[in-house]
Amino acid sequence: MGKHYAGILGIIAFLLALLRGILAGSRVETTLVVACACMFIFSLIGLIVGNIAYSTVNGSMEKVFEKELAALGGSRGSSDTVDNTDDTSEVEESMV
């Protein structure tokens, strides 16, 4: 996710800096240096923000998954009988 944010913000910053240079009538060399600097800075910002967003979403999803797994394990663990049948014979027969 961080790489995506970095790429998007970098390209947007580069294009806006180019547009600004063109509209202001700046020299080509100056405009390109400023656009490259903006692209680099905003790519770093996008990388940091994207990694923070990824870790936040990932942590939240892990908590939800653990809750659902615990609820599933709690309902399954409360039953007195355990099914120990092996269903592989049925699968092997259907493959033949």
Give, for all 96 residues of the chain, the pLDDT tens digit: 888 999 999 999 999 999 999 999 999 999 999 999 999 999 999 999 999 999 999 999 999 989 988 888 866 655 555 555 555 545 445 444
Q: Is 47 inside a domain boundary?
A: yes
Is 90 domain-assigned?
Answer: no
How many separate domains does the chain show? 1
> Is 34 among the domain residues?
yes
Its domain, for residue 68, covers 2-74
Matching residue, tokens 């063109």: 22
42: left (phi over 0), alpha (psi -120 to 50) or beta: alpha
Q: Please indicate, yes or no, if residue 35 is contained in any of the structural domains.
A: yes
Give domain status of residue 87, yes or no.
no
Residues ≥6 apart with Cβ < 8 Å to 41: 13
Q: Is residue 80 part of a domain?
A: no
Task: Give domain status of residue 79, yes or no.
Answer: no
Residue 29 lies in a domain: yes
